Structure 1
Amino acid sequence: MTTSPAAATLAQPAGGPQLPESMQAVVCHGPENYVLETVAVPRPGPGEALVKVEAVGICASDLKCYHGASKFWGDENRPAWAETEVIPGHEFVGTIVELDDAAARGWGVGVGDRVVAEQIVPCEECRYCRNGQYWMCQPHDMFGFKRRNPGAMAEYMVFSSRARVHQVSADLPPAHAAFAEPLSCALHAVERAEIAFDDVVVVAGCGPIGLGMIAGAKSKNPKLVIGLDLAQDKLDLALECGADLVINIATEDAVTKIKELTDGYGADVYIEGTGHPSAVAQGLNLLRKLGTYVEYSVFGSDVTVDWSIISDDKELNVRGAHLGPHCWPAAIRMIESGRLPMEKICTHQLPLADFQQGLDLVASGKESIKVSLIP
């Protein structure tokens, strides 16, 4: 891509610093084959922006892609979706260093502004985009998985012209600002649950997504928000995020406990955010009849359950949730408000060169909550 004259004017005012020709970036060559390389700094085209990356979070889906999950690399039941020779990273924050007038007008931002972008870059042409359902775009290009939109595990990245961009406070630590992506996803799952005031809401998993789900569910003012996890430190953090009650499923039976709390009926809403197959059956069993199950997680393998619980036993409402459509402004406001204990959620910030350590920390799940890379 070539830089337009307008972009060059905005990017490099008189006496301003010149952009480097090369940068460090993590490049995916396939499952378990991610390499730190020196690559060319990308150049934005018309309507695009060049962004200096400040932080990029490592998501559970990044980890599953790294380990070769069939959702990303395909199997006998589905084609591969992820591509090789791509820079990963879809939850990020950065500062605009170059853009043209069209991009500045379209996004309402300029050089020097701190920005995030939604993880999907919609085509704006398919059936879903034309109907306003951009997060289910048929081509489904996302930053960090497709060659057309390289991600943020690099010193610089390009926001393509169809990116959905949001400005964020320059006062936030970079890792906190990048948390807008997982938090928006969590809030969308909460919206899908359609929580009512008298509901007992159970959130499975108190990792980054689950903690956001708890905060979002609490903001709906239901009767009770309950967090489930195996790790007591994560459960303690869930209480700080708004949970009324937590259950350590390593020592207590969640189904029995929740039925005791609800006169034997079960919870009204269950939001699954662990990605562990056992959490699916757990949710189906602890819900009341006519309850609502919301599935957010990306699973590394197929999950088998007794579907008769969904139909004949309970007539459950089962809903999926994907990405964070229309929830980004709320997520940014929540982070900027100081309501969440972000210092405790964003536990690890590592240099880009230590990306493998970051992946290993996320894989372990025992030492970290949110792991970010700082290019």
Structure 2
Amino acid sequence: MTTLPSEIKQLVNFGPEDYRLISAPLPQPKEKELLVKIGACGICASDFHCYHGAPMFWGNDTFPRYVKTPVVSGHEFYGEVVAAGPNGLEHFGVQLGDRAIAEQIVPCEKCRFCRSGQYWMCEKHDIYGFQKQDADGGMAEYMLFKPTSRVHKIPKSLTPEECALIEPFSCSVHAVNRASIEFNDVVVLAGAGTLGLGMIQAIKLKTPKKLIVIDTMPYRLALAKTLGADEALNPLEDDVVARVKAMTDGYGCDVYIEATGNPAAVNQGLQMVRKLGRFVEFSVFSRETSVDWSIIGDRKELDIRGAHLSPGCYETVIDLFHRKLMTADGIVTHKFALDNWQEAFKTFGTPQAVKVLLVPHAD
């Protein structure tokens, strides 16, 4: 039986560039809640942008403030069920000692989207790591899974690295599903970070005619090729629009997926995608982007699709890992203790970093 501490460490967001590692009482699970010992929690681009004060999190004249502080950060977590409130185990169909993961969002179950089954677009939209009390996140030694969480058991066959990638790769699979990729499609993916590397693997399972990956970091481009990209292009070295058009008889790609978070990649994609093509926008941006909307309508009649979170994709990713159709090899590049969280955030986005994990327990 696991001996539980009375005090734990939590990385708490008090405001932009005001994150603090604090000691706090061990959370106590209430009705239909689980207490989970965190195995690892990844740093996402949204965590990075939130830390540095991006307006989409903290608000400006266009966006209302989204983050409710103080809040424990982190939404890319998994862990071991170590305790439960009344009816918690039965509610989620788990046992003490099971490895489990909760989806990022904590649906309200009351709004029109939740009632219609579109829970990932919940109007209240509490996401772990961004809303105090209702959704404290996983950059901690222990956390609570809330009663309306979508919880999934993780089989013993998955490695710790694979467990840590379930959340981001589930987002990857949803974005790829939104692209409706067909056999004869030439697909361009902009961005070979963690999410992009998950998308590469999902796209290859759709068996398109050609997959072209664009990124500015050589390490990521090499990894993209290893994972199945047919072409890997660096826009700092190539005229990537011209290259893609040359590969497609001048028409452009059939599908363009934007996963960089760089506004330049949006305009690049609009120039690169063919008429009547499909453009999937996934990224979280730290600043606004401007485009010529006449390209979308008058010139090309494009199909523009957004991709948000990962509805129905956690079980898919867990199964793909179990069947060895997805891999974590080369993607988890750095692991840090909670005490070293500042170094972890500084490492995020450096040339040799892909997925950076905080690992709260040495065991």
Fold match, TM over 0.5?
Answer: yes
Q: C-alpha distance in 1, partners of 2:116/2:313?
A: 18
Between 1:78-87 and 1:281-290, the stretch displaced more is 78-87
Kept in 1: contact 2:253–2:277 (CA 8 A) = yes
Residue aligning to 1:266: 252
Give deviations 1:62-96, integer Å, cap 9, x for gaps: 00000111110000112100011100000111000
Question: Which runs of 5 or more structure 2 residues have no equivalent in the other structure?
Answer: none
Residue aligning to 1:165: 151
**Alpha-carbon spacing, 1:200–1:100, altered in 2? closer, same or farther (3 Å):** same
Given residue 23 of structure 1, which amino acid in structure 2 is its aligned partner? I
The alpha carbon displacement at 1:102 in A equals: 2.5
TM-score (normalizing by structure 1): 0.93
Q: C-alpha distance in 2, partners of 1:28/1:245?
A: 40
Q: In structure 2, the residue corresponding to 1:138 is in which secondary structure? A: coil
The alpha carbon displacement at 1:101 in A equals: 6.0
Residue aligning to 1:289: 275
Q: C-alpha distance in 2, partners of 1:169/1:57?
A: 20
Residue number among 46, 57, 70 corresponding to 1:61 in the alignment: 46
Residue aligning to 2:359: 374
Kept in 2: contact 1:240–1:341 (CA 8 A) = no
Residue aligning to 2:4: 19
Residue number among 178, 183, 186 corresponding to 1:192 in the alignment: 178
The alpha carbon displacement at 1:232 in A equals: 1.8
Give deviations 1:154-205, integer Å, cap 9, x for gaps: 0000001110011113343323202100000011001111111111010001
Q: C-alpha distance in 1, partners of 2:205/2:313?
A: 13
Between 1:98-107 and 1:115-124, the stretch displaced more is 98-107
User: Structure 2 matches for 1:1-375, cutoff 5 A?
Assistant: 16-100=1-85, 102-147=87-132, 148-362=134-348, 364-375=349-360
Between 1:82-91 and 1:232-241, the stretch displaced more is 232-241
- Percent identity between matched residues is 48
Q: C-alpha distance in 2, partners of 1:334/1:32?
A: 37
Q: C-alpha distance in 2, partners of 1:323/1:30?
A: 24
Q: C-alpha distance in 2, partners of 1:347/1:109?
A: 31
**Alpha-carbon spacing, 1:196–1:171, altered in 2? closer, same or farther (3 Å):** closer
Kept in 1: contact 2:120–2:311 (CA 8 A) = yes
4+ residue runs of structure 1 moved beyond 4 angstroms?
none
Q: C-alpha distance in 1, partners of 2:56/2:270?
A: 23
Aligned length: 359
Question: Which runs of 5 or more structure 1 residues have no equivalent in the other structure?
Answer: 1-15
The alpha carbon displacement at 1:295 in A equals: 0.3
The CA RMSD measured in Å over matched residues stands at 1.2
Kept in 2: contact 1:99–1:110 (CA 8 A) = no
Given residue 246 of structure 1, which amino acid in structure 2 is its aligned partner? A
Q: C-alpha distance in 1, partners of 2:11/2:27?
A: 14
Give deviations 1:186-241, integer Å, cap 9, x for gaps: 11001111111111010001000011111111111111111111112211111222
The alpha carbon displacement at 1:246 in A equals: 1.3
Give deviations 1:323-367, integer Å, cap 9, x for gaps: 0111111111222333444131000111011111111111x3312
Q: In structure 1, the residue corresponding to 2:127 is in which secondary structure? A: coil
Q: C-alpha distance in 2, partners of 1:219/1:62?
A: 29
TM-score (normalizing by structure 2): 0.96
